[in-house]
A = this chain, B = another copy of it.
Amino acid sequence: MAKFVYRFSEGNADMRNLLGGKGANLAEMTRLGMPIPQGFTITTEACNDYYSKGEKIDEAIVEEIMHALRDLESLSGKTFGGGDNPLLLSVRSGARASMPGMMNTILNLGMNDGVVATLADKTGNPRFAYDSYRRFIQMFSDVVMEVPNASFERVLDRIKEEKGAKYDTDLDAEDLLAVIAGFKSLYREAIHEDFPSDPYSQLIAAVQAVFRSWNTERAIYYRRMNDIPSNWGTAVNVQMMVFGNMGDTSGTGVAFTRDPATGEKKMFGEYLINAQGEDVVAGIRTPRPIAVLEQDMPDIYKQFIDKAMQLEQHYRDMQDMEFTIENGRLYFLQTRNGKRTAAAALKIAVDLVDEGLLSEKEALLKVEPKQLDQLLHPSFDSEAIKAATPIGTALPASPGSAAGKIYFTAEDAKAAHKRGERVILVRLETSPEDIEGMALSEGILTARGGRTSHAAVVARGMGTCCVAGCGEAEIDERKKTLDLNGHHFAEGDFLSLDGTTGNIYAGDLPTVPAVITGDFGRFMGWADQYRQLQVRTNADTPYDAMTAIRFGAEGIGLSRTEHMFFNEERIPKMQEMILAGDKAARCAALERLLPYQRDDFIGIYEAMQERPVTVRLLDPPLHEFLPKEEAAFVQLAKDMDVSVAELKARAQRLHEFNPMMGHRGCRLCITYPEIAEMQVRAIMEAAIAVQKTKSCKIVPEIMIPLVGDIKEFRYVAGIIRRTADQIIAEAGVQMKYLVGTMIEVPRAALTADKIAEEADFFSFGTNDLTQMTLGFSRDDAGAFLDDYYKKQIYDSDPFSRIDVDGVGQLIHMAVEKGRAVRPSIKLGVCGEHGGDPASVAFFHEAGVQYVSCSPFRVPIARLAAAQAAITVG
């Protein structure tokens, strides 16, 4: 049978998967001879066993726990549940990955009326004993039995008031006896049983409560946000209590070996005399800075600094430590690699390399790629945000912070922007028609759609802050009002959005721009040196292209031509093309669009020069471009010289039941080859022009969307090649170009060998490939994905993190089949997953050459690619 319980002396730092992070570090510190209260760890496997048995703890595990407890008794010379030297325990969760504050802790376990009396007597400090007891009752009731903590606080407040006490510490032993009596009767009322006096029952109940805490809603949510699988489970650490609340030679504190906000190499932390752990963070008494400890307890301070440095050297990373001083004796309660801001992470990584503690490769693994995003966007002023209370929260769809006046249509947003106002665009949901308004806004708030909704994807692409899918928001676009949890806003009222947390604030919070320190460049240089994957960007405008180059993009992996048609001047011409009554009229409208499109590509090629640029031919269903307002129809009918009724009838014929799987992608080129001809002309003429003016060598990459059959590819590629060859010949220049395809329809992956016979490159469109392989539309998935997380069917959003088992299988298949037929084929990824670190690791393993992501994710992808190269090889 498996071993489910390990004494601290039986483990080490490498056993993190089994013992959890905290357990493994306690074992490691034991190995290092650090002063820690001894104890044992119940493994993560025991947690999984608990769930697999229908939330029951196995008898064999209980027995193992009892063995370990007896060993602890003999090690400590104390007795659990009685005797003249009673053993008290802390019971704490500890998962593989740190989930700070997500799970449960119970302190002072093992107390009852007998034990507390002995303790009072033995320590000669009854106040301490009763204080510990009342804390235990309160914590056990809250954490194990789910009696609301607030009711205990009310009892405490009542007695404090009766006694005229300001702080808990003002209560004396007798007062605390009253508190204990009050807590016990409160427990009895709530649970209809007496507070359990048997310490063994307390212990097993506490262990089970920790296991249960693995599956609270907030734990599930945290795991999803941080890509932690639900089957990892949590370990439970049972540790002998030491007491910081035994008087003025006792105390407790937390400290970091470096500043977690800036990374500065300077001990950072705080402590309280005569207190237990939660008092430091509870904010009732103000803790003192760690440096003051040098005056308070010089010996202890020196000892602490020595040990802390020893830990940092040993773990070769900044440490976040908890410690307790019991009657003048220092104990470390835990240590872990400390959480830090992105700026601190970079500085610490670079410093540790300079200090010779880490190699460059090791340093690259110390920074969480997603964190880099913080460095690229403005954020709220830290003082202002501390003072503010969110009035609502929704999905953090695109990071950064923004404040401005709210407007409810893209038109109004544009007008306000012209007047020089900062704008927050508030919409039920956005559509491609809103793009210009979105681009001019500081931030975007939507009521519908998820983290991969149109608003979210476009906002991330633009680097614009976006909070999406705020179901609580009642938005009346006609009346131009927003109601959110009792707060009412009209057009022009101020609103502030935090796209990093999803928080929404009333009013105009001040923001500060991001500062990129010199460490950033140096660190990213290392990343570029070790990564094998190239990183391109998805960019539709010269502005996006320039931003992405600044962030290190090596090319454009996806330029979506459709976004180019949405400005005021162009959209009517696009609409005339779409609603043309015959081919001649359509060609005439295309002829008028050509100069715009050519200018777009000239701008992009001027920005990118010799860097590769992949342009995708028109992809979305044509009805996305149709006018929505009556007035626009009337004007268009006039311009086109047809009746409004006729025009509406034509528009109506474009209606689709499932537009995502409708008349779009290469299907458009097959029905209307003239659209592809115009687009290819624009691309090639632009490339030829820029090649000449910039004296650089351009190799256009033209990409066909939504191919599912080699015959589709062949037909459209034929149009592209004929058109391109003719333009090259007319211009009398030398120019190579590539014709490739998106792999985004499952059938394209299944028949990649056939398609590779004629395609120069594949680019995996993982958004659509995920939609079709899993069979759900990302726009509609919001209705059930929450239930999928709650019921643990999905651990993460498959539109954020690639589904390795399903979609990944198709990608592997396409890579193999494609390479088998055409070993030189270029393989890339241009879906949103290109900016997700876990997905980037998968793409590295799958053997594609590049990933492409929105400009603001380029640094993330560069680091993720380096980490994949270092860890996978």
Q: Which of A708, A750, A754 has the most CB of B within 10 A?
A: A750
Query: A657 near B775 (CB under 8 angstroms)?
Result: no
Q: A670 near B: Cβ within 8 Å? A: yes
Q: A745 near B: Cβ within 8 Å? A: yes
In whole Å, how far is A207's beta carbon from the nearest beta carbon of chain B? Answer: 27
A792-825 to B contact mask, C-beta < 8 Å, 1/0: 1110000000010111011000000000000000
Smallest Cβ-Cβ distance to A747: which chain B residue: B806
- Stretch of A183-191, A766-774, A832-840 lying at the B interface: A766-774
A696-737 to B contact mask, C-beta < 8 Å, 1/0: 000000000010110110010000000000000000000000
Q: Within the complex, which residue of B670, B708, B775, B783 is in contact with A768, where a contact is CB–CB below 8 Å?
A: B775
Q: A158 near B: Cβ within 8 Å? A: no
Q: A776 near B: Cβ within 8 Å? A: yes
- Stretch of A87-95, A220-228, A235-243, A659-667 lying at the B interface: A659-667
Q: A787 near B: Cβ within 8 Å? A: yes
Query: B783 near A663 (CB under 8 angstroms)?
Result: yes
Query: B793 near A775 (CB under 8 angstroms)?
Result: no
Query: B809 near A750 (CB under 8 angstroms)?
Result: yes
- A11 CA / B803 CA spacing, docked (Å): 57
Query: B709 near A793 (CB under 8 angstroms)?
Result: yes
Q: A751 near B: Cβ within 8 Å? A: yes
Query: B656 near A780 (CB under 8 angstroms)?
Result: yes
- A708 CA / B803 CA spacing, docked (Å): 11
Query: B780 near A662 (CB under 8 angstroms)?
Result: yes
Q: A695 near B: Cβ within 8 Å? A: no
- Given A671-B787, A784-B670, verify A776-B715 contact (CB < 8 Å): no
- A706 CA / B784 CA spacing, docked (Å): 14
- A125 CA / B549 CA spacing, docked (Å): 89
Query: A658 near B803 (CB under 8 angstroms)?
Result: no
- A537 CA / B725 CA spacing, docked (Å): 55
Contacts of A768 in B (CB 8 A): 775
Q: Within the complex, which residue of B709, B772, B807 is in contact with A772, where a contact is CB–CB below 8 Å?
A: B772
Query: B657 near A780 (CB under 8 angstroms)?
Result: yes
Smallest Cβ-Cβ distance to A775: which chain B residue: B745
- A753 CA / B660 CA spacing, docked (Å): 29
In whole Å, how far is A653's beta carbon from the nearest beta carbon of chain B? Answer: 8
Query: B784 near A750 (CB under 8 angstroms)?
Result: no
- A662 CA / B773 CA spacing, docked (Å): 13
CB contact list, A638-659 vs B, under 8 A: 654, 656-659
Q: A758 near B: Cβ within 8 Å? A: no
- Given A747-B773, A793-B670, A793-B712, verify A659-B706 contact (CB < 8 Å): no
Query: B775 near A661 (CB under 8 angstroms)?
Result: yes
- A783 CA / B807 CA spacing, docked (Å): 28
- Given A711-B793, A788-B670, A809-B750, verify A661-B658 contact (CB < 8 Å): yes
Query: B806 near A671 (CB under 8 angstroms)?
Result: no
In whole Å, how far is A380's beta carbon from the nearest beta carbon of chain B? Answer: 32
Q: Which of A715, A746, A771, A784 has the most CB of B within 10 A?
A: A746
The number of chain A residues with a CB under 8 A from chain B is 49
Q: A791 near B: Cβ within 8 Å? A: yes
- Given A657-B660, A784-B671, verify A775-B791 contact (CB < 8 Å): no
Query: B805 near A751 (CB under 8 angstroms)?
Result: yes
Q: A779 near B: Cβ within 8 Å? A: yes
Contacts of A783 in B (CB 8 A): 654, 656, 662-663, 671
Query: A747 near B776 (CB under 8 angstroms)?
Result: no
- Given A806-B708, A810-B750, verify A667-B779 contact (CB < 8 Å): no
Q: A777 near B: Cβ within 8 Å? A: yes
Contacts of A806 in B (CB 8 A): 708-709, 746-747, 750-751
Contacts of A774 in B (CB 8 A): 708, 745-747
A443-459 to B contact mask, C-beta < 8 Å, 1/0: 00000000000000000
Query: B750 near A662 (CB under 8 angstroms)?
Result: no
- Given A670-B791, A792-B711, verify A659-B745 contact (CB < 8 Å): no
Query: A780 near B750 (CB under 8 angstroms)?
Result: no
Contacts of A747 in B (CB 8 A): 773-775, 803, 805-807
In whole Å, how far is A784's beta carbon from the nearest beta carbon of chain B? Answer: 5
- A661 CA / B772 CA spacing, docked (Å): 8
- A777 CA / B662 CA spacing, docked (Å): 6
- A589 CA / B783 CA spacing, docked (Å): 21
In whole Å, how far is A99's beta carbon from the nearest beta carbon of chain B? Answer: 22
CB contact list, A419-446 vs B, under 8 A: none
- A659 CA / B772 CA spacing, docked (Å): 13
Contacts of A712 in B (CB 8 A): 793
Contacts of A779 in B (CB 8 A): 656-658
Smallest Cβ-Cβ distance to A783: which chain B residue: B663
- Given A658-B659, A780-B657, verify A775-B746 contact (CB < 8 Å): yes
- A109 CA / B69 CA spacing, docked (Å): 108
In whole Å, how far is A237's beta carbon from the nearest beta carbon of chain B? Answer: 30
- A750 CA / B773 CA spacing, docked (Å): 9
By Cβ-Cβ distance, the 9 closest A-B pairs, closest first, are A747-B806, A745-B775, A658-B777, A662-B780, A661-B777, A663-B783, A657-B779, A711-B793, A658-B658
9 more A-B contacts (CB under 8 A) besides A658-B660, A708-B775, A746-B775?
A658-B780, A661-B661, A661-B776, A661-B780, A662-B780, A709-B793, A711-B792, A715-B793, A768-B775
Binding site for B on A (CB under 8 A): 654, 656-663, 667, 670-671, 706, 708-709, 711-712, 715, 744-747, 750-751, 754, 768, 771-777, 779-780, 783-784, 787-788, 791-794, 803, 805-807, 809-810
| A-B contact list, 14 entries, CB within 8 Å | A657-B660, A657-B779, A658-B658, A660-B661, A661-B661, A661-B771, A667-B784, A671-B787, A715-B791, A745-B773, A746-B810, A747-B775, A747-B807, A750-B809
